[in-house]
Structure 1
């Protein structure tokens, strides 16, 4: 065959995820990986889900294995709406769309909200998967400045907001920085967005993972009529389920449903029913605290190792929840080059540059701690700290100062 395949401009613009490429290296058992944003497999409720699967197959096998509605399994949509209402965001199941992982939610939002050249506001830095997904539709990304508390709401001027299709935010234990937006900033962000007529897309996979159990009001609860909210079962149950949800007002909701119909018809009926049965009897109220305890102790281990092994010139976030720590090194250090040296010593992390829509800060990196045993955290951070010190020592004195 001698057929000529001509790729679309959209396909030509595609690039591989930096994290996925790194994870290929970390499959080697000797590598201590702080790279993947993977939840700990020890938290997966295997027996609970086994029982739920058996119940679904015993009680409704044909329905579970049949096509289903694009919007999703109604009892699960009602469960999502009730949980959000419990946390202060009164929404209806009629506004809940079950999607095949929150990544599909990002894709559908890009399809329905972004034209080429559309102004889209994103955090600095922001979630790599969202940047990748939205980039397919060729927006004009504009960064929202941030500081140690997340988005700097003082910087959300009318000029910055003018003409934006939406702002994309991760207010809770953000990927990649681990920061949580304070309550007063949440109120100010929503007020400014409403005044400018800019929709807020709130991506919230980590909100339940506060180490002390304290939850802050969602942006959706502060703007229930016009907010767009994304949630996921990946971090509180298991990512292999590929199950998430989008909450949106009309007429956006109808367009999201139509875009999903054109994509995959519906999210798997079987998976939705299994998850619904797993969630019964307030299961998450006892399950999520075990995740919080584990991740909190893992985070503290890494913070202690950073204090012990990293030089004083390095700075890092101190998360109160979630799965990530963000490290900033002196300017002049390129963490992509540092990664190559770390991998040579069987340690991996994610360089920070891919998390920036514009003007990447190449002296940053992301560490994930939730899947690494205590002894390997200690060993890996000792190696990485020595490499960082060597990089700083090699800087010209004027830069290092």
Structure 2
């Protein structure tokens, strides 16, 4: 890992936290912040870690720093309210919650208000214990098992949640992927030559802002600047690894396409078209395999750094001159081990944003379950997406291993229950 790569430190901090090495995670998150004082992901994740440890005052400080960079980050504003409540600063918590309400009226905010009430009730029942959320256990990934092929692996869900958070911060999930194709058809970019001598349609990073403005024209100026900062931090820092100040525009479009709005196959098609748009592939229906490999590795480095950072160097100097058709590109893209197979989990999160599970609440965080519900088959407790991805379980259920089945809706859960009772009735004498 590069010692000066803030994103890598941030990702390592999240991994250490998931393994329960919280003090080391704090050090690594702090290193990321030292390298980039405005690193929003590191500040936000460190705030969450402090919350988990019951260090509510420190957590509120982290969220305050996030808001100093992005004043419209409503999740940070909301978590600031929760951390202030945990610190016993009820009046300040109410003020922070009012500020969050000014930023958004999303259903998640009303869920959070319900959650705050639950915490207050729990605090009363526990005679004002130090941690309103109570304790929880963090279980190592090897002890989290899945039941059924449709149940998402914990590690995959954690990575997809991070990508989904990036989509929300940048609002790229509201940008129709067709706009990328339209831009490629209309923009005139002169061909230049990179340090390696290859022709590129490259553009200076500051000039990208005008293109992004066309993609995100629905954003207010201050929100747009926050989106630009996030894209610069997460995407452009990787695409411009040499620090030249220029970015290959075709590769930039290809990297954006999978997280824009639109049917999944259309996103992949436009990513392929963006690679075709590069000078070396123009006027062809196929792309060079070396470009496809480099693209996949860049995707992984940008969106799943723990998998892809070290892979970027491996492709330099490759001389494979073979070509790849769109169908072959899809096979490479969807490969769960070496491609960007995480996209299927991301799509599940996108489609489940409004899926609610009646009165079910997460056994750890006590939030109403939205999206998927992960039910432990032996002890029958349920976890939300976030707690499942972080390996959290209630302390009252200590087991050698945990087996989870995922339900995307309560209709699925009811169907499963009916099948169980049918099987039981057939077994009866």
TM exceeding 0.5: no
Larger radius of gyration: 2
TM-score, structure 2 normalization: 0.25
* Structure number having the greater helix percentage: 2
